[in-house]
Structure 1
Amino acid sequence: MSATVYQSCTLAPETPKSESGRPQVMAACLRKSAVPEEVPRLVPKELVHLKDQSGVLVTGWTRPSPEVFLVGAEWPGEPEGPGGARPAAGTAAGLVRQCGLAVSHAAFGVPLEYQSLLKKLNCTLTGPAPEWRDGRTPVTVELNCSQMIRRGGRVIGAEIMEFTVRHEGRVVCRADSRSQWISPQVYRRLRGDHLTAPWGGWDVPEPVAPELVGCSSAEEVALSATGRPDRWLLRNDPANTEMFDHPVDHVPGLALLTAAHQAARAACGPLWTAPTAVSTSFGRYVEFDAPCLLDVRTSGNGVVEVAGSQYGLPAFRIVLSGRLPTG
């Protein structure tokens, strides 16, 4: 991908999400000023689970109704595909994921210590790309929340979120996600021996040729060869900041999306356009201590299905809808 997909993923348990530990302390940073700022201020990185502030895309929000938010954000990256017709759908996935995390913490009061379990995330680009301005473009994200999550009689988040991304009034993307919040106690029981991963303590296999997967350098490559053209080995390089903003205890869902995009590019060739839609579902955590295989199936019309497995069990499924040249 030429556009960076900044991750909104679960921090490793030993990594603090906030110096204060209270989302309410930072909530005021999200509220939109009555006077438009010439340069919008980005929200604190802790609200979108990042270590690097430069990866933050959310600038603020208003709340016209209890379940609806208008979120200000910045769409990063460069146009992708022949002629730069559309931005990468993976970039859109990263952006809306940040919007959902920020609103959950600052508006609904989800404790920063809670872990976000992403089950599904789907994005479809619906219109022409925004006009690019110095690498980032301001957009507005309408976020509708449903199936509220309650703890102790109070709302702490929404299980289902629907996103409509607009640029200068035009709809450029629609997305939806399904996730849940897990308390530290439950997360510890759920993760067991995998609660703390020895960060970088695993072997990183050799990358495939960068040009095969649309990368400019070996450091960006997320795949290693298996000897089969329809099967790849996930390559978890801790130095790859596109996939890993910070140490984590499992492979984040958006990192798996990056790998799936590369697998689709390898399967379809350089004339395959960047996907205009992605559909993801995650069934289990992908760990660092065992090989993860990506099996690719193409349809002939640019739609690619990538199925991930680990320990011989299905782990995730990602479908990318690009296009191949006709005639």
Structure 2
Amino acid sequence: MTCTVPKEFVHRAALAEVLLTGRTRLSDNRFQVTAQWPRSHSFYTPIGGTHHDPLLAAETIRQVGFLLPHAEFGVPIGHQFVMRTFHLQVDPAHLHVGATPADLDIDVTFHDVRTRGTTHSAARYEAVIRRAGHIAATGSFTYTCITPQAYRRLRGNHGHLHTPLTAPLPPQNVGRLSPTDVVLSPTTTPNTWQLRVDTRHPVLFDHPVDHAPGMLLAEAARQAAIATTGTTTPLIPTEIHSTYDHYVELDTPCHIHARPLPTTTPHHHHVDITATQNGKEMFHTTLTTTPLP
């Protein structure tokens, strides 16, 4: 019987959102983690009905970065993790939805591991997701860990107020089926949208937080990239490079700006995306999409 790891270890409140199923330590900084993707997901829905959403791979690798620091490096539950950089590359040939859930083996290597006193405080890790022996995705994150006391000093009273919920873009314009899953709202400026923050969303806001979650910003980047193409043909993100510079606050409008980049590869769309708040850049990503194979 397949069981998940404890939900507290991956910072999820809902058991249904836990993707990891086990772990094995191979050496000081190398691990093997197992995971499973459902055939369908309430938010990370299969693209075109045929391929697992690459952001499900991103969420899987993100959960790895909670599980191993807690379970193997001794970071206490309750410490906050600050995402710094993120990279993902997928092979759509190995993302097809099969007749059963996708069982995954993930090779994880930690680099630049740091401690504060005797407590694990920061690292970069690389993950290789294999499905039936084939590489389906590779990714990396860098992060720092903050004690609850330090986090309270850093954040103060942020998160108590929220901006009013704004109207969504048409779902078909951003590769979505339901307006409740749209995270962009229209503005009068071309290729610029307001981040739509619905704190009631059961996946993006699986539990209360005092800032816009990193996966909300990743989804905003994906939707912005699709919106710039002007097509309703299913597009699959194949590569993402992101940096997270500042917390995106919930009480102030945040704007998402997209700029198509030149490409020499037919049918590949490269887009540069930034998030700004109060005139300051908060988040930056470059994202590549391609039509389904």
TM-score after normalising by structure 2: 0.89
User: Any idea what the Cα deviations from partners look like across 1:115-168, whole Å, max 9, x if unmatched?
Assistant: 00000111001362245346731101101011112132x352651001011111
Q: Does 1:162 align with 2:112?
A: no
State how far apart, in whole Å, the 1-side matches of 2:202 and 2:122 are.
29
Q: CA RMSD in A?
A: 2.0
Question: Which residue is equivalent to 2:157?
Answer: 193
Larger mean CA deviation between 89-98 and 270-279 belongs to: 270-279
Question: Which residue is equivalent to 1:173?
Answer: 137
Question: Which residue is equivalent to 2:21?
Answer: 59
Structure 1 residue 46, shift from structure 2 partner: 0.7
Equivalent of residue 220 in structure 1, options 164, 173, 181: 181
Question: Which residue is equivalent to 2:217?
Answer: 256
Unaligned regions of 5+ residues in structure 2, if any?
A: 264-268
Structure 1 residue 49, shift from structure 2 partner: 0.5
Question: Which residue is equivalent to 1:273?
Answer: 235
Higher relative contact order (CA 8 A, sep 6+): 1
Structure 1 residue 99, shift from structure 2 partner: 1.2
User: Any idea what the Cα deviations from partners look like across 1:236-256, whole Å, max 9, x if unmatched?
Assistant: 012322321111100011111
Q: Which amino acid aligns with 2:115?
A: R
Unaligned regions of 5+ residues in structure 1, if any?
A: 1-38
Q: Which amino acid aligns with 2:144?
A: Q
Question: Which residue is equivalent to 1:18?
Answer: none
State how far apart, in whole Å, the 2-side matches of 1:157 and 1:174 are.
24
State how far apart, in whole Å, the 2-side matches of 1:127 and 1:291 are.
35
Structure 1 residue 324, shift from structure 2 partner: 6.2
State how far apart, in whole Å, the 1-side matches of 2:105 and 2:142 are.
21
Question: Which SS does the other structure have where 1:193 is aligned?
Answer: coil
Structure 1 residue 91, shift from structure 2 partner: 1.6
State how far apart, in whole Å, the 2-side matches of 1:310 and 1:242 are.
24
Q: Does 1:94 align with 2:59?
A: yes
Structure 1 residue 318, shift from structure 2 partner: 1.6
Equivalent of residue 205 in structure 2, options 244, 255, 266: 244
State how far apart, in whole Å, the 2-side matches of 1:158 and 1:186 are.
15
Q: Does 1:143 align with 2:104?
A: no
User: Structure 1 vs Structure 2: percent identity of aligned residues?
Assistant: 33
Structure 1 residue 114, shift from structure 2 partner: 0.7
Change (3 A) 1:175 1:321: same
Equivalent of residue 49 in structure 1, options 11, 17, 20: 11
Pairing of 1:202-217 with structure 2 (within 5 A): 202-217=163-178
Q: Does 1:71 align with 2:33?
A: yes
User: How many residues matched?
Assistant: 281
Q: Does 1:113 align with 2:78?
A: yes
Q: Does 1:104 align with 2:66?
A: no
Question: Which residue is equivalent to 2:275?
Answer: 308
Q: Which amino acid aligns with 2:160?
A: A
State how far apart, in whole Å, the 1-side matches of 2:65 and 2:101 are.
20
Question: Which residue is equivalent to 2:266?
Answer: none
State how far apart, in whole Å, the 1-side matches of 2:17 and 2:114 are.
28
TM-score after normalising by structure 1: 0.81
Structure 1 residue 89, shift from structure 2 partner: 2.5
